[in-house]
């Protein structure tokens, strides 16, 4: 062999070795953090051995001999699967993202330092029920045991960002829980947005934008017989919107479905319950599935990663589901700065000092930023985080300070509530837990083996003074102050209704006779109309029926709007292009089901998007319009109102010399939709299938950049449904038509077999991208499948599943 050949061969061999070593190293880097699921591990602090049996989807069944060990094992097992997700959530809530993510997240940190959720968590920790403190301490010990036992073997995200997790604390679980409550704070958007719109339109036009609710829609519970200029608010909303986009949270939606039937309407002779909360659907999933078992515990369902209790689930005697109650639990107050003292503000006849403190934000790799956070007696001054105001003190003081009063900044103990609910064995013991739920306010649907079904509104609901609660209020008069809170016994509640069922889909909770203001933030009635249609479609139902109901994609909302559109073309003298005629023909023959292959679904949704732009954007302006449509429930409901009213001034385009009517805008919107679809999909209308533009991607924080999106994101997939169908697959109006909000989990329970539920989440149990359980539930979720989750230990121990023992050290 020649010298040159030897060099070539040697170089080739060396390259092969380097490549192989690189592949092995990458494989080790990725798989080193995969959880140990068989054999045994020694854990300091355990009292006795704990069994962890994982099913074929990696869902842990945890059996301990006492509550302390159960909570400690739960912390350990959650950390095995979701440590990085837990860590990034506590960093987000505490305003500490920039320490590991650098400058791009500074504004998010400023926002959360201003809200000061860390101080809220610290305050709650001091006032916890003794049982809550014990379970949170044990949970934290379990997380920390995993952190300590796995140094050098953390998930790959820690390696990519070059940091290690800190120890978990009780406050971190509280912080994660309160962060989720803030993400469901609807008034954060609506109040500020309406204040912004008030600056652009007349009072008469503004009044038309306040959503009402049709009297024909039966509420969940029927009773027996100012707008001042706000400096920097749009940019503040931009920060919140950017945060949601960065973390895969999508547009602001918090809808859900939950219903239960009693034994008279059940094939099995026992109540049935179904629930599918509609939340953002990032990767990893917002939910962690688990079965927890110890003396007085045998409960299964879904948890929030970072918290030790089942939030939605079932035990041996009861099942329950949650939907957002859509309560207006926040108000915003314009504060009047004292003209003589810039560090004082007016409160009735008094001048009070702004409370202030400094927050130091560390920024990777070695920078930092100090901000001053101000507060009034209402709460934090939230527009101080506006980027153009934070550096110049005089500019900051010149703007109108806006303070936020939010129930989520008060002390409460929801963990204790869910702890009691998890262990409850009866209606009475379950209600004791419901009493502890304050934020975010929830609609809770319940069923038990004793043939009871029930509904509660649970939350801390303010009794308000004067002023429109959907607009920023005058903070200096004292007239708009909260006067206390409704007691639990004053809140809407129902038990064993004569209809034999209870159903909620974020509709209006109580009728006109209810004496207190709850909210105006309800979802469009389309889903509850359809649910009630289905619950009247037969005399009795099975769990399979309920699974099919959860996949229902018929939209009563679309049926109503399409009729307005068809009526706009009733005049035979109206000229219609062949394309418009074809589009109208599709809509005329539509069954109002949003299937993936449907053409009419595409035409309707693009048309409705154009209708919103053509109706509102000319008056509001681009920025306010973007804020108005970010919470989709409001523009959907308001548009229905305007279409029904027929003669609203909102239909006139203020930028044209002529006066447009409702029918003009309807026809223009259809024409705009057809033009857009021709340019984006093509001229062949039969190719305009809904699933081509309506897709879902479960996005990881790292998935916003190529090529990491191919590694960490799950999808895209074509998907059926829409904003107003039971199977809700919402898209942002400002970023159509990618699904950002949908059924984050689905659960169906037949109380004839209370130890079995049918459950599914969007992705998988693992938060680690290359683990087999990272996305192994996605196909089931997309195709209407469920996992059977069993809590009978006799059956569990017969399975040949992975079995891990956690032993005391």
Shared domain for 672 and 693, answered yes or no, is no
- Here the tokens at position 181 are 């409550």
Shared domain for 526 and 476, answered yes or no, is yes
Q: How many domains does the chain have?
A: 2
Q: Give the whole-angstrom CA distance, residue 215 versus residue 801.
A: 53
Residues forming a β-bridge with 320 = 313, 446
Shared domain for 615 and 730, answered yes or no, is no
Q: How far apart are the first and last CA of the chain?
A: 61
pLDDT for the residue 573: 85
The dihedral over CA atoms of 385, 387, 392, 396, expressed in degrees to the nearest 10, equals -40
Dihedral sign, Cα of residue 91, residue 92, residue 94, residue 97? positive
Would residue 219 count as lying in a domain? yes
Q: Give the whole-angstrom CA distance, residue 333 versus residue 471.
A: 9
Q: What is the DSSP letter of 359?
A: E
What residue ranges of the chain have pLDDT lower than 70? 1, 3-29, 222-254, 386-398
Q: Give the whole-angstrom CA distance, residue 781 versus residue 790.
A: 19
Shared domain for 741 and 769, answered yes or no, is yes
DSSP string, 759-793: EEESS-S--STTSTTSSTTHHHHHTT--EEEE--H
Would residue 2 count as lying in a domain? no
Would residue 25 count as lying in a domain? no
Task: Pick the last residue of a domain from 641, 658, 686.
Answer: 686
Shared domain for 697 and 641, answered yes or no, is no
Q: What is the DSSP letter of 488?
A: G
Shared domain for 453 and 482, answered yes or no, is yes
Q: What is the pLDDT of residues 451-492, one digit of tens each?
A: 999 999 999 999 999 999 999 999 999 999 999 999 999 999
Contact of 528 with 217, CB cutoff 8 Å: yes
pLDDT for the residue 18: 56
Range of the domain at 103: 32-554+689-809
Would residue 293 count as lying in a domain? yes
Q: What is the pLDDT of residues 613-639, one digit of tens each?
A: 999 999 999 989 998 998 899 999 999
Query: Taking the mean position of all CA atoms in its chain, how far away is CA 205?
Result: 31
Task: Pick the last residue of a domain from 671, 686, 701.
Answer: 686
Shared domain for 355 and 483, answered yes or no, is yes
pLDDT for the residue 390: 39
Return phi, psi of residue 120, to 5°. -60, -45
Would residue 27 count as lying in a domain? no
pLDDT for the residue 224: 42
Three-class DSSP category at 429: helix
Shared domain for 191 and 165, answered yes or no, is yes
Contact of 312 with 759, CB cutoff 8 Å: no
Shared domain for 715 and 604, answered yes or no, is no
Indicate whether this model's pTM tops 0.75: yes
**Which of 248, 196, 475, 236 has its CA nearest to residue 345?**
475
Prior bond to 440 cis, omega within 30?
yes
Shared domain for 512 and 617, answered yes or no, is no
Would residue 485 count as lying in a domain? yes
Return phi, psi of residue 300, to 5°. -140, 155
Shared domain for 242 and 306, answered yes or no, is yes
Shared domain for 695 and 677, answered yes or no, is no
Task: Pick the last residue of a domain from 669, 686, 703.
Answer: 686
pLDDT for the residue 4: 67
**Which of 266, 282, 638 has its CA nearest to residue 449?**
266
Prior bond to 707 cis, omega within 30?
yes
Contact of 174 with 121, CB cutoff 8 Å: yes
Would residue 12 count as lying in a domain? no
**In CATH, what number is assigned to the domain containing residue 776?**
3.60.20.10
Would residue 23 count as lying in a domain? no
Q: Please give the helix or strand (H or E) that residue 696 lies within, else none.
A: strand 695-698
């Amino acid at each position: 062999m020649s010298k040159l050949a030897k060099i070539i061969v040697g170089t080739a061999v060396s390259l092969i070795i380097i490549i192989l070593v690189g592949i092995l190293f990458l494989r080790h880097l990725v798989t080193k953090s995969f959880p140990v699921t068989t054999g045994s591990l020694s854990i300091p602090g355990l009292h006795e051995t704990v069994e962890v049996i994982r099913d074929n989807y990696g869902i842990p069944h945890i059996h301990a001999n006492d509550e302390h060990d159960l909570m400690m094992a739960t912390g350990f097992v959650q950390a095995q699967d979701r440590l990085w997700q837990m860590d990034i959530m506590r960093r987000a809530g505490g305003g500490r993202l920039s320490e590991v993510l650098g400058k791009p997240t500074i504004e998010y940190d400023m926002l959360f330092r201003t809200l000061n959720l860390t101080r809220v968590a610290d305050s709650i920790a001091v006032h916890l029920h003794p049982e809550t403190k014990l379970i949170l301490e044990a949970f934290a010990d379990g997380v920390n045991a995993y952190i300590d036992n796995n140094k050098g073997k953390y998930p790959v995200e820690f390696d990519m960002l070059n940091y290690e997790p800190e120890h978990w604390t009780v406050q971190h679980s509280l912080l994660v829980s309160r962060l989720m409550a803030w993400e469901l704070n609807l008034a954060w958007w609506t109040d500020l947005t309406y204040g912004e719109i008030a600056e652009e339109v007349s009072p008469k036009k503004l009044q038309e934008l306040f959503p009402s609710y049709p009297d024909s829609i039966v509420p969940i519970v029927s009773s027996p017989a100012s707008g001042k200029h706000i400096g920097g608010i749009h940019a503040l909303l931009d920060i919140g919107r950017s945060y949601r986009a960065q973390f895969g949270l999508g547009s602001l939606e918090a809808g859900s479905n939950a219903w239960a039937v009693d034994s008279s309407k059940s094939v099995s002779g026992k109540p049935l319950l179904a629930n599918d909360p509609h939340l953002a659907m990032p990767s990893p999933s917002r939910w962690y599935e688990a079965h927890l078992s110890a003396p007085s515990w045998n409960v299964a369902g879904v948890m929030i990663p970072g918290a030790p209790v089942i939030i939605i689930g079932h035990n041996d005697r009861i099942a329950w589901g949650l939907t957002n109650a859509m309560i207006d639990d926040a108000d915003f107050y314009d504060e009047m700065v004292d003209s003589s003292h810039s560090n004082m503000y007016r409160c009735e006849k008094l001048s009070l000092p702004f409370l202030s403190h400094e927050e130091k934000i560390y920024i990777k790799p070695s920078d930092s930023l100090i901000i001053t956070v101000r507060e009034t007696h209402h709460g934090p001054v939230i527009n101080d985080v506006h980027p153009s105001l934070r550096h110049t003190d005089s500019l900051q003081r010149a703007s109108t300070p806006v303070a936020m009063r939010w129930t989520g900044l008060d002390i409460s103990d929801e963990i204790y509530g869910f702890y009691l609910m998890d262990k409850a064995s009866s209606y009475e013991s379950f209600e004791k837990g419901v009493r502890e739920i304050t934020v975010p306010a929830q609609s809770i649907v319940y069923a038990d083996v004793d043939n009871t079904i029930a509904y509660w509104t649970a939350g801390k609901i303010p009794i308000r003074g004067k002023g429109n609660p959907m607009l920023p209020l005058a903070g200096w008069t004292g007239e708009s102050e909260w006067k206390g809170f409704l007691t639990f016994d004053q809140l809407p509640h129902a038990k064993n209704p004569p209809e034999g069922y209870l159903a909620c889909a974020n509709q209006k909770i109580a009728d006109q006779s209810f004496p207190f203001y709850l909210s105006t933030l309800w979802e469009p009635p389309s889903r509850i109309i359809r649910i009630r249609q289905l619950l009247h479609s037969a005399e009795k139902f099975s769990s399979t029926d309920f699974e099919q109901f959860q996949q229902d994609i018929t939209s009563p909302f679309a049926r109503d709007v399409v009729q307005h559109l068809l009526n706009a073309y009733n005049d035979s003298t109206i000229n219609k292009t062949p394309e418009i005629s074809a589009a109208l023909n599709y809509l005329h023959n539509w069954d109002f089901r949003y299937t993936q292959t449907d053409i009419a679904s595409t035409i309707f949704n693009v048309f409705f998007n154009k209708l919103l732009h053509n109706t509102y954007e000319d008056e509001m302006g681009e920025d306010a319009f973007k804020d108005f449509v970010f919470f989709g429930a409001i523009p959907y409901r308001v548009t229905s109102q305007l279409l029904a009213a027929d003669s609203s001034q909102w239909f006139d385009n203020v930028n044209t010399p002529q006066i447009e009517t409702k029918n003009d805008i309807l026809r223009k919107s259809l024409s705009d939709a057809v033009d857009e679809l021709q340019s984006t999909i093509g001229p062949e209308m039969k190719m305009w299938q809904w699933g081509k533009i309506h897709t879902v991607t479960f996005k990881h924080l790292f998935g916003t950049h190529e090529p990491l999106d191919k590694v960490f994101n799950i999808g895209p997939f074509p998907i059926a449904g829409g904003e107003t169908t039971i199977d809700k697959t919402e898209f942002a109006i400002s970023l159509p038509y990618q699904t950002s909000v949908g059924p984050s989990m689905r659960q169906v329970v037949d109380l004839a077999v209370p130890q079995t539920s049918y459950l599914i989440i969007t992705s998988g149990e693992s938060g680690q991208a290359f683990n087999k359980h990272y996305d192994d539930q996605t196909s089931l979720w997309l195709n209407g499948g469920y996992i059977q989750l069993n809590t009978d230990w006799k059956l569990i121990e017969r399975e040949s599943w992975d079995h891990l023992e956690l032993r005391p050290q």
